Structure 1
């Protein structure tokens, strides 16, 4: 659906700051190279605590981070071959969460029926992904496509993000190209114009025209020396719950969002740059640590300014959830509709499933969910 690009004030519906996620998607939880064989790492997806571990053969597994015996956090345990052992009594659980060994049980004694929830997990693009929703839907749900991954024509920079803010606030920051004013000291973009805007049930696509000048334009090959201001089209495409944005002929950013809880969000981003240097030099530059240099000296400076704004926004909202706000960017309003709509859709499906399982008796929603679903 094509939407108008006119900038005009509308009152923001604060319920977007209260909604949860639609869990029936793949969410990133860790960089793959940070989880070595035989190690365990605690992760969390929207208040679901998960013990993520790689067994001695390199296989990934994800279990609920609570031993079904005493509730001890399983991430504090250790990997025993293909199994994860609880640190308290040494009970071992397989990849399906089933108890397969208790060290003080005689070999012939039957094991108790104790099982931790297991989650579908996979590794792609150097990222570990977990599916926190209905596991029957995991095989039907695709990961975001990252066609640039492994392409020698692009230089890849991994950008980690951690924000003390609701994921809707973080998503709006990514969609909002009008905040270039914040980055003016870093020679960011200026004079943004919203050119086109489209929305579906689970996507928002916005095209902006932006201008650049200064040293950054020369580094990225946007302009030649003494050329002055350069204008480019930036396309921002949100496909719930992740992003892909491009700068015309220069870069491609895949931003994978990981909502941790109501006021905490992480992101795992892959930035692909077409730098004006030969491919053989790109490979050499990667070996010499150019990725870390670009991350530290360029992208993190922009990101830290954004973090300060997003966390300030969250603190103000938390202090007074009834405060009214005005938004003028129709792309932000479209994004809010998708975020709320996806959560409402999931809650309705959950209620229908519960009613079928409970003899058509509909279980009332918790108070926070009733507010979000209004």
Structure 2
């Protein structure tokens, strides 16, 4: 985890911003930094002997799993006639283009051109191969400088695989710039949006801390009335949901990932822990794929969580659908106005915008071609 800048830690107050948002560069034109590990597919979607199409920020990627079980990631175009390799055929550990049967190794090098004899010409070098790792039921690729991959750690999720927690996985497309998603999760003042499923909540920002690549906020959540969805009550396994009950919520953007821990009143451990990342798809990064791992604490009664699982799933899907509606509306407004006209007043969100700008990269010019693979559902 990133070390917090001690001179910027506060108790409910964030650093003073010397200039308004309008005086800064438009965050929606800042691209995601590729020098991190990003999930691009669910592991179970990449079956042995099969290939699928995915993308990162306009770079089309073909994923395939060879007979030995390893997943490989190649630039999704044949060096010969540019036909997508995701249309190809897996043979052993190689991927063969569907058009002229050129065969590629897992590193992107060409291993065979069936009709080319020795001396008939020198074949091209091949296509780009991406570093790949599998963890937490996800396939991660490193789209940045390859030499940095070995030096860059995957996110650490100690609750994943713990016998005390059970994990629910999410994978959903969202038609917005990834920055809107960071802001949505970190800013708990939008709970009015979810009044139909969580009742009346009073979020109080207790403290926030900001570093060069991280922002952390600690909220006190008090349920002050209104009907609460049964799934919401089941998700908070320690018995929250009573009128007047208070929970502590800790949310952190640790670039480019986000985490959220909910600790019920008088509980010894989080009722649930969320890890999320928003992977841009198109070159202009106006769409992203939200990957989330919701690690839910198992209650004391054996089997109770299994029975509650469908209700919790429906609750989380409904909350996500409402959030998606809001951030996609923000994106549409940005596109209609061709600039960011937000009048943000919450210092915490101004902080996270600075972090996203400071760690992002300039957007590459769009080629005008469709850059996204098909959406990969849960």
Which bracket does the TM-score occupy, shorter chain normalised?
0.7 to 0.9
In the TM superposition, residue 232 of structure 1 has moved relative to its aligned partner by 1.1
SS of match in other structure, 2:281: strand
8 A contact 2:26–2:340 mirrored in 1: no
Residues 293 and 100 from structure 1, CA distance in 2 versus in 1: closer, same or farther, beyond 3 angstroms?
farther
Question: 2: CA distance between counterparts of 1:161 and 1:231?
Answer: 30
Contact 1:166 1:263 in 2 (8 A): yes
CA contact (8 A) 1:32 1:128 kept: yes
Could you give the per-residue CA deviations for residues 284-307 of structure 1, whole angstroms, max 9, x where no partner exists?
x2xx7x645532x21000000111
C-alpha change, 1:153 and 1:260, in structure 2 (3 Å) is: same
Q: Which runs of 5+ in 2 are unaligned?
A: 1-7, 264-269, 367-378
Match of 2:324 in 1: 307
For 1:294, which of 309, 312, 321 is the aligned residue?
Answer: 312
- Indicate the residue corresponding to 2:3 in structure 1: none
SS at match of 1:326: coil
The reply on whether 1:72 has 2:87 as its aligned counterpart is no
2:286 paired residue among 263, 269, 274 = 263
Deviation of 1:276 after TM superposition, in Å, equals 2.8
2:160–2:166 contact (8 Å) kept in structure 1? no
Cα separation, 1, equivalents of 2:153 and 2:9: 26
1:173-252 → structure 2 map (5 Å cutoff) = 173-188=184-199, 190-212=201-223, 214=228, 215=230, 218-219=233-234, 220-223=236-239, 227-248=242-263, 249-252=270-273
User: 1:162 aligns to what?
Assistant: 173
Report how far residue 161 of structure 1 moved: 2.4
Q: Is the 8 A contact 1:69 1:114 kept in 2?
A: no
1:125 aligns with 2:136: yes
Structure 1 position 324 matched with structure 2 position 331: no
Deviates more, 1:73-82 or 1:107-116: 107-116
Aligned to 1:362: none
The answer to whether residue 106 in structure 2 is matched with residue 95 in structure 1 is: yes
What residue number does 1:2 align with?
9
Q: Is 1:146 aligned to residue 157 of structure 2? A: yes
Q: Tell me how many residue pairs correspond in the alignment.
A: 342
**Partner residue of 1:274 out of 277, 297, 300:** 297
Match of 1:253 among 244, 259, 274: 274
After superposition, the Cα gap between the structure-2 partners of 1:274 and 1:118, relative to the gap in structure 1 and judged at 3 Å, is same
Structure 1 position 366, deviation (Å)? 7.1
Mapped to 1, the partners of 2:168 and 2:365 lie a distance apart of 42
Which SS does the other structure have where 1:271 is aligned?
Answer: strand
After superposition, the Cα gap between the structure-2 partners of 1:188 and 1:44, relative to the gap in structure 1 and judged at 3 Å, is farther
Residue deviations 1:52-97, cap 9 Å, x none?
Answer: 1111221110010111111111101111111111111110010111
1:46 aligns with 2:57: yes
C-alpha displacement of 1:117? 0.5
**SS of alignment partner, residue 79 of structure 1:** strand
Query: Does residue 58 in structure 1 map to residue 72 in structure 2?
Result: no
CA distance in 2, matches of 1:231, 1:186: 17
2:147 aligns to what?
Answer: 136
For residues 215-243 of structure 1, the C-alpha deviation after alignment (integer angstroms, 9 at most, x for no partner) is 45642234378x42211111001111001
Q: Is contact 1:222-1:230 (8 Å) kept?
A: no
Equivalent in the alignment of 1:19: 30
Gaps of 5+ in 1: 348-364, 369-374
Contact 1:194/1:207 (CA < 8 Å) preserved in 2? yes
How far did residue 201 of structure 1 move? 1.1
Aligned CA RMSD, in angstroms, stands at: 2.5
* Residue 35 of structure 1, CA deviation: 0.8
